[in-house]
Amino acid sequence: MDLRQLEYVVAVADELSFTRAAEECHVVQSALSHQIQRLEAELDMRLFERTSRRVRVTAAGELLVAYARRILATVGDARVELEALAGLERGELAVGATQTAGRVLDVIALFGAFHRQHSGIKLASISGPAPELVEGVRAGWLDLAFVAGSAQAPGNEVAGDGVERQVLVEREPLVAVVGMKHRLAGRSRVRLTELSESGRFVEFRAGTGLRTTVDDAFAARGLSRSISLELGQISDMVRFASHGLATAVVPLVFARDSPAGAAQYAVLRIADDVAMSVSAVRRTGPPGLALGAFLEILDTGAVAQRRS
């Protein structure tokens, strides 16, 4: 007795026709009939009464069909579980992160924790501005994106067009970084008004979450500032500021550790309480196997967030 024979028995019992059962099983009728005859010979019992006009299931056939349905269902469940396991051994996962989100959450450590549990998953990591990454999730070439934006944004929300957002870190404060000879270097806390009058600024490139948050903070208070430099790396902004070239407003996490090649610098808290939030963005609906496993690691707090 094998699974193929059991499938044939169930098909004949359901269709009450060898012809239709063969079509359902995608085999020729002679092959299906031969396998059922072999099974009947092995059991020494008739499973079906056949006439030229109809097929009837015998008592032995009804008993076997009941068991066969349970066996085939169990085997089907096993196949699903095995396919799921194979998916977690051979799948792919593409995750994007903005610079701020990647540093606040320590995404590299998160990748490490995931890789140790699911080493067969091929990981792809992409860095870019929040709008580009959110569009990547929406378009399907990213499974998940960690993005930073203004802390004034709503909490957990559906971002629209099949994308949902979950806030992971509500507030990452922004601070001012200045060189040690800057006239505000001796202060521990300043207001945006004082910063706007303090000289030139080095800024993150336009269209990013950090740049938008800083621009909005100054504009909300009717302030303007002189921007002399625009860079693509937040760590470079700190380096420029440390050498006295300009003032930088950056997430606190970037000002904690001196970047390679940076001179000493002063970190000033901003009294106006300007901050960013960090969110995870993914498509709505149940996650795939690899993404589900990744989200489990994130939810269990396997990687400590680098909070202030």
For residues 180-199, give the mean pLDDT: 91
> CA-CA distance, 94 to 137, in Å (whole number)?
9
At residue 300 the predicted structure's pLDDT band, cuts being 50, 70 and 90, is confident
* Portion of the chain with pLDDT greater than 70, in percent: 89
Structural domains of the chain, ranges and CATH numbers in brackets: 3-89 (1.10.10.10), 91-169+277-299 (3.40.190.10), 172-276 (3.40.190.290)
Q: What is the dihedral of CA 248, 251, 252, 253, to 10 degrees?
A: -120
At residue 260 the predicted structure's pLDDT band, cuts being 50, 70 and 90, is low
What was the pLDDT predicted at 76? 79
Q: What is the dihedral of CA 124, 130, 135, 138, to 10 degrees?
A: 70
* Among 76-80, 86-90, 243-247, the range of highest mean pLDDT: 243-247
Q: What are the DSSP calls for 240-286, one per residue? A: HHHTTS-EEEEEHHHHHSPPTT---EEEEEETT--EEEEEEEEESSS
Q: Look at 77 and 224; give whichever has higher pLDDT.
A: 224
Average pLDDT, the chain: 86
What is the total residue count of the chain?
A: 308
What was the pLDDT predicted at 82? 67
Q: Look at 155 and 53; give whichever has higher pLDDT.
A: 53
Q: For residue 245, which phi and psi values (nearest 5 degrees)?
A: -80, -25
- What confidence tens digit (pLDDT) does each residue in 25-46 have? 888 999 999 999 999 999 999 9
Check if the beta carbon of residue 290 is closer than 8 Å to that of residue 93: yes
At residue 304 the predicted structure's pLDDT band, cuts being 50, 70 and 90, is very low
Residues 6+ apart with CB under 8 A from 306: 103, 104, 105, 106, 253
> CA-CA distance, 28 to 38, in Å (whole number)?
16
Helices assigned H by DSSP within the chain = 3-15, 18-25, 29-43, 59-90, 99-105, 107-117, 130-139, 192-196, 209-220, 234-242, 252-256, 289-299
Could you tell me which of 143, 188, 172, 177 has the C-alpha nearest to residue 280?
A: 143
Q: Look at 279 and 152; give whichever has higher pLDDT.
A: 279
- What confidence tens digit (pLDDT) does each residue in 115-159 have? 888 888 888 899 999 989 999 999 889 999 999 988 765 555 545
Q: Strand 163-179 relative to strand 265-270: parallel, antiparallel, unpaired?
A: antiparallel
What was the pLDDT predicted at 137? 92
What was the pLDDT predicted at 261? 64
> CA-CA distance, 65 to 60, in Å (whole number)?
9
> CA-CA distance, 40 to 1, in Å (whole number)?
10
Answer yes or no: is pLDDT of 1 > 60.
yes
DSSP 8-state secondary structure symbol assigned to residue 46: -
What was the pLDDT predicted at 252? 93
At residue 308 the predicted structure's pLDDT band, cuts being 50, 70 and 90, is very low
